[in-house]
Amino acid sequence: MFEDETIRYYCCGGSGTVRNVMSGITNLDKAQIAFYPFGLTNDFLKVFGKDEERFRNIDELIDGEVIDIDYMKTNQGVCLNTVCFGMDTNITEYVEQFNFLRVLSDDLPYTMSIFASILAAKPVQYEIETERGIVQRPSVELFYGNGFCAGGNMFFVKETDVTDGIGYVRVCRAGSLFKLLEVFKSLLDKNYKKLNEISQSWYTSFLKVRRTDGQPFAVNQDGELTEELTEWKVEIVKQGLHFVVPKGVRPI
């Protein structure tokens, strides 16, 4: 019915909701995406700094303007903020198990999931292919981000540009519970100096990841679990998304 018209979608939820809406759109060239933050963490909007709060004003979004930003395209759909492998995937799985605790607090299932994931985390040997070539690295958590935050308060890079077609990879190693807690604390504290000592990171426009044992594995796309694949391919689509922002607002 609206094949030749541009349609604006108002996504009321978190980054996962935006991802689900985007995944259901056949032609993103004919879509404008407005993000009205009603989720638990709304991670992607943190790239707008203090102006993040302006997205909570629906009148400003209705009267907003459109800018073109990057998004992430995988071999299992699209997303906006991050693709994560490892501990963050486990957290998402545990949230469902602890969901009954929501009657006490909306945040409690997520908090308990973090602790459970830390206790259960084990390094996995990955083969990682990027523009820099192919490397093999053990990792308890691998971030590939268009944005710079996951899980509400885990900042894996100091800054990012969501219009340059480049994403950021961080591979977090941990050989003990103490080392894992050190990684987690550094992410929460935005201690990038320490993070760079205990993890590896670099910029790339695409990422391919396989387990060296050949086993299939799921990933976390903007807080949403996917089905398991033996190889994951992710690329940054440069300025491919028409994103609605309050007038004058730009990424930091």
| pLDDT value of position 35 | 98
pLDDT one-digit tens code per residue, 212-223: 999 999 899 998
Same domain, 38 and 113: no
Same domain, 135 and 26: no
Specify if 250 maps to a domain: no
Same domain, 178 and 211: yes
| pLDDT value of position 94 | 65
DSSP 47: G
Specify if 129 maps to a domain: yes
| pLDDT value of position 227 | 86
What's the rounded mean pLDDT across residues 51-64? 97
Specify if 198 maps to a domain: yes
Q: Which domain holds residue 148?
A: 79-236
In this predicted model, which residue has the larger pLDDT, 175 or 79?
Answer: 79
| pLDDT value of position 4 | 74
- CATH number of the domain within which 192 lies: 2.60.200.40
Q: How far is CA 248 from CA 65, 200, 244, 251, in A?
A: 8, 36, 11, 10
Specify if 141 maps to a domain: yes
According to DSSP, the β-strands at 31-37 and 167-172 are: unpaired
pLDDT one-digit tens code per residue, 114-132: 777 777 778 889 999 999 9
In this predicted model, which residue has the larger pLDDT, 118 or 202?
Answer: 202
Same domain, 127 and 41: no
Residue 168: pLDDT band (50, 70, 90) is very high
Cα 70 to the center of its chain, rounded Å? 13
What's the rounded mean pLDDT across residues 123-142? 93
Specify if 252 maps to a domain: no
Same domain, 102 and 207: yes
Kindly report the pTM of this predicted structure.
Answer: 0.88
Instruction: Please count the structural domains in the chain.
Output: 2
Same domain, 62 and 173: no
| pLDDT value of position 102 | 75
Q: How many CB atoms lie within 10 A of CB 101?
A: 17
| pLDDT value of position 110 | 67
Same domain, 57 and 96: no
- As a three-state string, the secondary structure of 131-178 is CCEEEEEEECEEEEECCCEECCCEECCCCCCCCCCCEEEEEECCCCHH
Same domain, 206 and 100: yes
CA dist 205 and 27 (Å) reads: 22
